[in-house]
A and B are shown apart, each in its own frame.
Chain A
C-alpha cells in the first residue's frame, strides 16, 4: 500500500527514467546510427536525423580499412584474460588471509593495498616506464599486463574478501580437527565453496582489465601488432580521412565481448560489486 503510485505518478516516474536512460544510452545509440550510415552521407548538409540508405556495409569494410582490427580485438581479450588469471593467482591467497586469519599488521597492510587504488597509472607512468624498460618489457604484451595486474589486485582482494567472510567457518574447523594442513584446507575445502565468488570477482577483474588498457597501451607499447582495441581504434583516424562509420562499427564490435559476459552475469556482478554498500 505504501508503495502504491497514482497513475500520474507512474507517468512521471517513467518519464524521468526515460530521460535518465537517454542520457546514458545516447552515445551508444548515436554510435550505432553512425555505423549504419554510408560515409558520404555523413557530410550531407543540412543535418539529417534519419536517412534511407542505412546499411551494415561498414561492418564488413572495417576489416579491410584496418587490416589488424581482428588482431586488436584478440589482443584486448588476450591481455584482459592474462591480467585476470595472474591477478586472481595473487588475490585468492591474500583475500583468504584477510577474511579468515589474524596476524600482525593486518589492517595496516590492507590499508596499503587499498591505497594503491588512489593512484591511477598516470601518476606513476614516468618511473613505471623506466622500470619496464629496465626489465626489458617495453613493447611486449607484458608492458600492458604487468601494470594492469598491479592496479587490479587491491580491488580483487577487497571484493573476494567480503565473499569469503560469508562462507561458514565450521567446515574449515572440521577439516582442521581431522588433521588437514592449512594449505590443504584452503585448496580442498574453501576454494570449492568459493567458486561462485571466484567467478564474480574474476568477471569484475576481467571487465576492469578490458577497460583500463588504453593508457598503458599508448604509453608502454609502440608495437602495432600488440596494440589492444581501444588504442587500435584510433587508426581509423588519419589514413586519408576518418572513416567514422567503420570506426563506430569497430568500437561496437569491440565492446561485444564484455557486454555479453556482463549480460550473463549482471545480477551477481551488481550484488558482488556493491556488497560494501549494504549494511550487514
Chain B
C-alpha cells in the first residue's frame, strides 16, 4: 500500500473534462446500445399492440387486440395459470433455498465441496438441463417412471409430460431445479455475513439453534429474502425455455404461461399485433411487481435496519 498523503480537495487541472461530461461519455455507449436494442423495441411493442400486424402489413385497430384478450376465457385462464405457476415455483425455491443454505452453512467437513456441487443447474444452459429433464420424465427410459414401475406404483410406463396435471407440476419441478441454486447461494452468502457476535451472545443466554435461526438468521437476511423473492418471481414469470423445451405449452395448453402464449401468438403464428398486446400486459405486470417490491424492500430495510 503506497501512502500518498493528500488532504483537502483534489481539483483536476483546468484542461480536464468536467466530471458530469466525462461520466456521460463513459455511460453513453452502453445507454445508446440499450436504447436501440431494448427501449426502441419496447416502444415498438406498445405501438404494435394497437395494430393488426402480420407478415403482410399493419393496420390500426385501436384497442381491438386488448378487447379480444379481455373477453377471451382462454386468456384469463392463462393469467391465472401464470400466477399459480409463479407463486408455487417461487415458494418452493425459497423454501428449498433456505433449507439448502442452512445445511451448507452448517460447520461440517466437506461443505466447500457441497457448495460447488449445488451450482451446475445455474451455470449450464437451461436448454441443456431441460434435455436431462426430458429424459427423466420419459415414461419408457426415465428413471422416475422406472422406479415407479419397479415399486409397483404404476403398472406401466408413466409419461409425466403427457397429462395436463402431471405436465404442469413436472414443469414446476424443473423450474425449481433451475432456480434453487441461485437462491441457495445468495442465502448462504447472506448467512455468512451475519455477525458471529449475535449468535454467541444468544448462545451464552442459552438460546437454542432453532431460536437463533428464527430470531437472528431470518431477520438478518430478510432483505436478501425479499430481493430473491422478487428476482425469482421475475425469472419464473419470464421463464420460457423450460416450458418450451419440455412441453411447448401443452398438453392442451396446460403449461401455457403468458410468456409462452405471447411467443406462440407472435413468433409461431406471426400475429404480431395480438402478440404485442400480450407483451404489453406482461410489461405492465412486471412493472407492478417491481413497485410492490421496492416498497416492501424499503419497509424491510427500515424494520430490520441495515445500519
Contacts and interface: CB of A to CB of B under 8 A. Distances in A.
Q: Are A and B associated in one complex? A: yes
Contacts of A46: 149-150
A90 B34 CA distance: 10
Interface in A213-272: 213-215, 219, 229-231, 233, 244, 247-248, 251, 254-255, 258-259, 262-263, 266, 270-271
A68 interface: no
Contacts of B2: 171, 174
Interface in A77-132: 89-91, 93-94, 96-98, 101-104, 106, 109, 112-113, 115-120, 122-131
Contact of B306 (A21, A173, A176, A279): A279
B17 to A, nearest CB: 6
Contacts of A119: 38, 42, 238, 283, 286
Contacts of A98: 27
A167 interface: no
Interface residues of A, number: 108
A274 B199 contact: no
Interface in A1-49: 2-3, 5, 10, 13-14, 16-17, 20-21, 23-28, 30-31, 34, 42-43, 45-49
B295 to A, nearest CB: 15
A263 B118 contact: no
B213 interface: no
Interface in A150-177: 150-151, 153-154, 157, 168, 170-171, 173-174, 176-177
Contacts of B203: 2
B103 A170 contact: no
Nearest to A125: B267
B237 to A, nearest CB: 9
B72 interface: no
Contacts of B4: 170-171, 173-174
B241 A173 contact: no
B26 to A, nearest CB: 4
A54 B34 CA distance: 50
Contacts of B34: 112-113, 116, 150, 153-154
Interface stretch (B59-67, B80-88, B135-143, B161-169): B135-143
Q: Which of B13, B19, B26, B286 has the most CB of A within 10 A?
A: B26
Given A103-B24, A126-B276, A255 B190 contact: no
Given A34-B141, A93-B26, A126-B45, A21 B114 contact: yes
Given A233-B127, A279-B307, A150 B143 contact: no
Given A119-B286, A207-B123, A259-B123, A31 B48 contact: no
Contacts, number: 291
A197 B48 CA distance: 42
B12 to A, nearest CB: 5
B205 to A, nearest CB: 12
A194 interface: no
A195 interface: no
A174 B177 contact: no
B128 A251 contact: yes
B112 to A, nearest CB: 9
B29 interface: yes
Given A119-B42, A119-B286, A122-B238, A277 B224 contact: yes
B171 interface: no
A232 to B, nearest CB: 10
A117 B290 CA distance: 11
A120 B238 contact: yes
B125 A49 contact: no
Interface string B168-193: 00000000010011000111111011
B42 A93 contact: no
Contacts of A17: 103-104, 114
Interface in B22-50: 22-27, 29-31, 33-34, 36-38, 40-42, 44-45, 48
B146 interface: yes
Contact of B37 (A118, A130, A131): A131
Interface string B1-28: 1101010001011011101101111110
Interface of B: 1-2, 4, 6, 10, 12-13, 15-17, 19-20, 22-27, 29-31, 33-34, 36-38, 40-42, 44-45, 48, 96, 99-100, 103-104, 106-108, 114-121, 123-129, 131-133, 135-136, 140-143, 145-146, 149-150, 177, 180-181, 185-190, 192-193, 199-200, 203, 221, 224, 227, 234, 238, 240-241, 259, 262-263, 266-267, 272, 275-276, 279, 282-283, 286-287, 290, 306-307
Given A118-B286, A126-B272, A244-B141, 13 more contacts: A2-B203, A20-B118, A30-B132, A47-B145, A93-B27, A112-B31, A122-B262, A123-B283, A125-B263, A127-B48, A274-B186, A277-B187, A279-B306
